[in-house]
Amino acid sequence: MIVVDLSAVSMSRPDRALLSDVSLTVSTGERIGVVGINGTGKSTLLRVVAGVEQPESGTVRRGTSVRISLLDQGGDLPDTTALAAVGEGWEAEAALTRLGLGDLFDRPVAQLSGGQRKRVALAAALLNPADLLILDEPTNHLDVDGIEWLEAELKKLRGAVLLVTHDRHVLDRVTNRIVELDRGRAYVHQGGYAAYLNSKAEREALTARVEDVRRNLARSELAWLRRGAPARTRKPKARIAAATQTVQGRAPNAARGAALDLHIAATPRLGDTVIELRSVRAGYGDAAAPGEIRPVLDGVELALDPDERLGIIGLNGTGKSTLLDVLASRLAPLAGEVVTGPTVRLGYWDQLGADLDPDLRPVDVVAGPARRPDWSDEAFLERFWFDKDNAWAPVATLSGGERRRLQLVAILAQRPNVLLLDEPTNDLDLDTLRVLEDFLEDWPGALVVVSHDRAFLERTVTDVIVVDGSGGAARRPGGLARWLADRAGGSTPGPTSSGGRSGPNRKRPAGSSPIARDGDRPIGASKPSVSTLRHRLRDTEKELASLTRQRDALNAQLEMAGVSADIAALARIGTELAAVSSALDAVEERWLELAAQSESG
């Protein structure tokens, strides 16, 4: 059954078109993901489908008596308790519990944090009987358990689902169609995220081939036009007009300019001491009991390496952001000690991007309070996909994703060598996420990330700290995938036997012998430390990638030489290919050995 049908719908902003003649049909049982760069109109499309906004042109038809449930980015709620805002009965209680709000049933909505209100609104939307469930960034503010529960709930729904999300796992596991918004147009891809990437690449390759044909034709037409007036008089005027149009034509402008350039300048070198936590206890005030402090971390010990790649995971409310605040010296510990090395230049990308002064302009944010902005700030912002109009417009006019990107720009401009990222994927589009992941992969400083985005953690961290909600915080080698596998197999990731100690790389007393550690247990001097294994794995992966590229290039050369029957070239390339393949086999064996050592704890 058709639930909603959009025909030739158009919407715009004062400075650009958002949707141009977009047509889309949503039927019962479909799971449709909407993707596109920030500012392309994803949220606008959802509101048009829901009937919250009316299109400037085109038509929207809804089935008879169709019920629509909408979760927008605002997550508006009635002035009641959390449970009353969701509903009555065990279903409402179960949904709130699975979303980490089981102890807040009677808490007034006005006393909830922004993330808690969004989770209450999500529970209400899921339990509202509907033929079409529309969700705008539903995974924001959810932990890994909450996202897995949401995936299962969406798969069970009988009606249709239309959602905007940057979570690539959700897109691949839940959706069966992807709608990509690109410069006002809508492209529909059958399948999940992987299918979308394949068909998008094919479309871009086809566009490139069409443009190559046009350029070749334009060169021949330009030569014909230049022969002079006598030659032209012997040709029809229509041919002249067509030739002129071909020459003057051009490929569509890219949705964004040059590739996002996150590399600012050389990062100051870190010394041996970065940030160390020693027997730290920390907590925060409880809104229900002002003046009281509730410890959420206790006995935590952690020492960051100069090239640390560490994720912090755990259920909502267990102290992940608190741990970041302690590392950043924003929050003084209740007990214990925080040692920050003298060479540390800290950059903290927190969740307050939406709270930037709305009256400031991006150029003001980059220039800072000490000077007036100038052309250099505008040029700097252009590298980060802020055009001239956006650079000088009030922050209030930017989308949520654009504000998050602006905050990142301001932090990178300070040239930090230690990055603390708190939910960095919230509100960022997929293109920006992929660029950020590539940047962090080669970034030379220390990195600590709090994130619920499984794909992001898989790309950027090698170890995780599991904050268990009982005060403990334990390092788990092998990253998120290892922790999830251990949990699925019945192994309970929690504090190590040393009472919450999480740093396998604390400094050794002078004169002591090196002792390798697995997790946090001494296992003898003969085995490399976890930190050393991480370095060797990273170097080996880079070597594998380089050799794989060489092998692929040689295979392509071998194919061309076979077509041309060049015997000498075939012999030479075959010899090179054999050597590269042998080297690749050896490096793969080394990688497997290192991976096994890394996972042995």
CA 454, CA 165: separation in Å to the nearest integer? 13
Which of these ranges, 382-386, 424-428, 464-468, has the smallest mean pLDDT? Answer: 382-386
Sign of the C-alpha dihedral, residues 456, 144, 472, 492?
negative
Domain spanning 2-196 has what CATH number? 3.40.50.300
Sign of the C-alpha dihedral, residues 187, 191, 192, 196?
negative
> What's the mean pLDDT in 477-496?
68
Q: What's the confidence (pLDDT) of residue 368?
A: 80
Query: Does residue 497 surpass a pLDDT of 70?
Result: no
Q: Which residue has the higher pLDDT, 184 or 487?
A: 184
Which of these ranges, 337-351, 387-401, 481-495, has the smallest mean pLDDT? Answer: 481-495
- Give 108's strand partners: 81
CA 164, CA 75: separation in Å to the nearest integer? 14
Query: Does residue 252 surpass a pLDDT of 70?
Result: no
Q: What's the confidence (pLDDT) of residue 26?
A: 92
User: Percent of the chain having pLDDT more than 70?
Assistant: 78
What is the 3 state secondary structure string of 441-497? Answer: HHCCCEEEEECCCHHHHHHHCCEEEEECCCECEEEEECHHHHHHHHHHCCCCCCCCC
Of the pLDDT bands very low, low, confident and very high (cuts 50, 70, 90), residue 191 is: confident
* Percent of the chain that is helix, strand, coil (3-state, to 5): 40, 20, 35
Q: Which residue has the higher pLDDT, 104 or 497?
A: 104
> What's the mean pLDDT in 168-172?
88
CA distances (Å), origin 62, targets 65, 171, 406: 8, 25, 38
**Per-residue burial over 264-300, b = 16 or more CB atoms within 10 Å of its CB, e = otherwise:** eeebeebeebbbbbbebbbbeeeeeeeeeeeebbbbb
Q: In terms of Cα–Cα distance, which of 423, 521, 535, 417 is closest to 476?
A: 521
Which of these ranges, 117-126, 137-146, 174-183, 391-400, has the smallest mean pLDDT? Answer: 391-400
> What's the mean pLDDT in 430-439?
82
Query: Does residue 211 surpass a pLDDT of 60?
Result: no
CA 497, CA 443: separation in Å to the nearest integer? 33
Query: Does residue 151 surpass a pLDDT of 80?
Result: yes
CA distances (Å), origin 82, targets 86, 95, 236, 315, 352: 7, 11, 75, 19, 24
Q: At what angle do helices 114-127 and 90-98 cross, to 10 degrees?
A: 140
For 117, the token pair is 């209100």
> What's the mean pLDDT in 511-534?
44
pTM above 0.75, yes or no: no
Q: Which residue has the higher pLDDT, 242 or 300?
A: 300
Query: Does residue 377 surpass a pLDDT of 50?
Result: yes
Q: What's the confidence (pLDDT) of residue 409?
A: 80
Which of these ranges, 201-205, 430-434, 514-518, 527-531, has the smallest mean pLDDT? Answer: 514-518
For 148, the token pair is 């897995």
pLDDT tens-digit readout, 62-84: 988 899 999 987 667 888 999 99
Q: Which residue has the higher pLDDT, 460 or 267?
A: 460
Q: Got the DSSP string for 242-294? A: HHHHHHH--PPPPSSSSPP----SPPPPP-S--EEEEEEEEEEEETTEEEEEE
Position of tokens 């940030």? Answer: 275
Of the pLDDT bands very low, low, confident and very high (cuts 50, 70, 90), residue 160 is: very high
Assess contact for 458 and 481: CB atoms under 8 A.
yes
In the chain, what are the domain boundaries?
Answer: 2-196, 530-599
Q: Which residue has the higher pLDDT, 73 or 91?
A: 91
Q: What's the confidence (pLDDT) of residue 44?
A: 92
> What's the mean pLDDT in 291-303?
83
> What's the mean pLDDT in 272-293?
76
For 260, the token pair is 């996002």
Assess contact for 300 and 277: CB atoms under 8 A.
yes
> What's the mean pLDDT in 101-122?
88
Query: Does residue 27 surpass a pLDDT of 80?
Result: yes
Q: Which residue type is seen at 219?
A: R
Q: Which residue has the higher pLDDT, 52 or 484?
A: 52
Q: What's the confidence (pLDDT) of residue 510?
A: 35
Q: What's the confidence (pLDDT) of residue 488?
A: 74
Query: Does residue 436 surpass a pLDDT of 60?
Result: yes
